[in-house]
Amino acid sequence: MRYILMTLVVVSQLAYGQSIWDSAHLALVKQNLQLPVYTPAFDILIGQAEKLMGQRPVSVMMKDKTAVSGDKHDYLSLSRYFWPDPTKPDGLPYINRDGVSNPELERLDRPKLSVMASGVTTLSLAWYFSDEEKYARKAVEMLRTWFINKDTRMNPHLEYAQIVPGQNGDKGRCYGLIDAYSFVEMLDAVQLLEGSKSFTRKDRKRLKDWFGRFLEWMLNSAQGQEECRQANNHAIAYDVQVMAYARYVNNTKVISDFMSQFYKRRMKKQINPDGTQPQELRRTLAFGYSEYNLSHMIDVFQIAKAAGMSSEGLPLLEKAADFLAQYIGKPVEEWPYQQISGWDEKQHELCLDLYRLYLLDPDRTDYLKLARAHLPKRFSERFVLLYGQLAETENGQ
């Protein structure tokens, strides 16, 4: 096999390291929490963790509807942009309204998955930075409820993710695999938890077993293979998830195989030489989906960096960033494609992407300057704990 994107140099850290976070950076931040550049973000993190302490852990058993399998342990979600057909008495089958979210999805499992993963991430970081064991205990309680306890755990598959009522026998679609993307960052947080007393060896084994089965389903199920064949952001998100899960369970072959194909199979097909992403630009949220896909690609490069692999596809990634960056600070009217909502939010997220790209390529100081100029409340966000470089934050902000 000829490796186009990544030269694979697997180091010992691969078996236990994180995917998109830098453990050395987190350790440095922990040593410097008393500095003004980090203290506000740390205080906010602890405040968020405190709010979670009294909350009941969520599970897939809390939904008021069950998948057609009849097993409530099966994850169930609704396709975000599908709505009842107003011309049909029962509304079936649902029809697409691209870019407009159906509030019905709040009643199923997708919001609960997000709440759980976000909660585990917040509490794990709070434990790591504060050494307060109570935060680790709460994070482990959430993990056990969602993944481990027999009465509440989710089955390790997404066969009923993003259903469209009235279509395909109410079974899930390949696009539903993206629902689990928040597991990627959560697993980096779990790696921190392994230093706590609350996260036991038994917990670790059971969670790794769950993700081993989940990875197998992602790779071998019809939905997983169909998602892998997609031509847009879903394929990139699929790759990130597969590599992150493989990294967590120490499946080095899967990581190597996916990394070696990424440039040719994904980037060259999704990014034009001028940096445009044609599959994303056809959407009603063209800027948002272009940024979304860019952020997933950055995650791939961060996984490569964490795994000790050198990246050769960075110039094309930066082309995609350059195309979007020219619209930072401009009104949505100057964007030559559709963006029916969320312009300011996505501009903000693009600035975070540019900062992460600067960390991957320190020669691109223009990315750093753009991020500095357009990111409000620079020190009040968790981002500064995860990625903010001490020298840059001290000298530039």
Q: What is the pLDDT of residues 93-106, one digit of tens each?
A: 999 999 999 999 99
Q: Decide if pLDDT at 69 tops 80.
A: yes
Q: Decide if pLDDT at 396 tops 60.
A: no
Q: Decide if pLDDT at 379 tops 70.
A: no
Neighbouring residues of 117: CB distance < 8 A, sequence distance ≥ 6: 182, 183, 185, 186
Closest CA to 220 of 163, 159, 179, 263: 159
Q: What is the pLDDT of residues 298-311, one digit of tens each?
A: 999 999 999 887 66
CATH-assigned architecture of domain 55-249:
Alpha/alpha barrel (1.50)
Q: What is the pLDDT of residues 160-173, one digit of tens each?
A: 999 999 999 999 99
Hey, where are the domains in the chain? 1-54+267-397, 55-249
Strands (E) across 12-101 are located at 82-83, 95-96
Q: Decide if pLDDT at 178 tops 90.
A: yes
Task: Quote the pLDDT of residue 380.
Answer: 65
On the CB side of 34, CA atoms within 13 Å amount to: 1
What H or E segment, with its residue span, contains residue 288? helix 286-306
The CA dihedral of 216, 221, 224, 228, to the nearest 10 degrees, is: 100
Please state the rounded mean pLDDT for residues 116-132: 98
Q: What is the pLDDT of residues 265-281, one digit of tens each?
A: 999 999 999 999 999 99
Give 375's pLDDT tier (boundaries 50, 70, 90): confident
Give 393's pLDDT tier (boundaries 50, 70, 90): low
**Distance of alpha carbon 150 from alpha carbon 233, whole angstroms:** 34
CATH class, 1-54+267-397 region: mainly alpha
Q: Decide if pLDDT at 335 tops 80.
A: yes
Q: Decide if pLDDT at 11 tops 50.
A: no
Same fold, 1-54+267-397 and 55-249: yes
Task: Quote the pLDDT of residue 12.
Answer: 31
Task: Quote the pLDDT of residue 15.
Answer: 35
Give the CA distances from residue 367 to residues 202, 235, 326, 348, 351, in Å, rounded to whole numbers and listed in that order: 44, 26, 11, 13, 8
Please state the rounded mean pLDDT for residues 129-145: 98
